[in-house]
């Protein structure tokens, strides 16, 4: 995966997005290893067009699906499918326009801050918003992750951060 390549490609194309999931956690000091990049994107038509163009340029294809089956990544696909898990030339990328426990893109954007990740300033879910999303999903791995994320938050509070 080329995390820097993903972020540079999205920002360079003017895509409005927020980094969420594991990469957001790592940006805040979480020790978890992640093999994909998760983003929440602004679903407005012009932004969907920009995102679709980037994903098509990276040969985005559905992850876990047999190669060679018909699949078109375009703005219509993004509009019609709320969550896409893709394999791309830049690595695995999950794209969605809402985050459980946080809300639609506007709420996600409001719950973000700019963090420099691999030299690229990128809007990234705050630690509080990331914790809210993990609580809302309720998956076993998310419940386990909450222990470390909440400890990170407490440590920041103790340091006055």
Residue 31 lies inside a defined structural domain of this protein: yes
pTM of the prediction?
Answer: 0.92
Within 13 Å and on the Cβ side, how many CA atoms surround 55?
28
pLDDT tens digits for 49-66?
A: 999 999 999 999 999 998
Does 103 fall in a domain?
yes
Q: Is the pLDDT of residue 1 over 60?
A: no
Please state the rounded mean pLDDT for residues 16-24: 96
CATH code for position 71: 3.30.460.40
Say how many domains are in the chain: 1
Question: Which of the four pLDDT bands, split at 50, 70 and 90, describes residue 7?
Answer: very high
Render pLDDT for 69-85 as a digit per residue (tens, 0 to 9): 889 999 999 999 999 99
* pLDDT above 80 for 161: no
Of 115, 101, 104, 131, the C-alpha closest to 19 is: 115
Average pLDDT, the chain: 93
Residue 27, in any domain of the structure = yes
Beta bridge partners of 61: 87
Candidates 101, 115, 79; CA nearest to 146 is 101
| Overall average pLDDT of the 19-35 stretch | 89
pLDDT of residue 61: 95
Structural domain boundaries, residue 48: 3-154
Q: pLDDT tier at 98 (50, 70, 90 boundaries)?
A: very high
159 part of a folded domain: no
Average pLDDT over residues 7-33: 93
Mean pLDDT of 16-31: 92
Taking the C-alpha atoms of residue 22 and residue 133, their distance in angstroms, rounded to an integer, is: 11
Residue 160 lies in a domain: no
**CB half-sphere exposure, 147, CA atoms < 13 A:** 5
In this structure, of 34-48, 102-116, 118-132, 147-161, the range with the lowest mean pLDDT score is 147-161
């Amino acid at each position: 995966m080329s995390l820097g390549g993903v972020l540079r490609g999205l920002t360079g194309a003017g895509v409005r997005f927020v980094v969420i999931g594991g990469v957001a956690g790592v940006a805040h000091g979480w020790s978890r290893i992640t093999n994909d990049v998760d983003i929440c994107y602004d679903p407005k038509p012009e932004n969907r067009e920009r995102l679709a163009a980037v994903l098509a340029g990276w040969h985005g294809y559905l992850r876990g699906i047999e190669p060679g089956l018909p699949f078109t990544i375009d703005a219509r696909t993004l509009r019609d499918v709320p969550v896409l898990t893709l394999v791309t030339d830049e690595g695995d990328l999950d794209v969605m326009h809402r985050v459980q426990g946080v809300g639609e893109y506007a709420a996600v954007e409001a719950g973000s801050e700019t963090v420099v990740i691999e030299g690229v300033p990128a809007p990234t879910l705050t630690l509080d918003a990331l914790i809210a999303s993990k609580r809302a999903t309720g998956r076993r791995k998310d419940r386990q992750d909450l222990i470390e994320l909440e400890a990170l938050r407490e440590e920041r509070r103790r340091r006055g951060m």
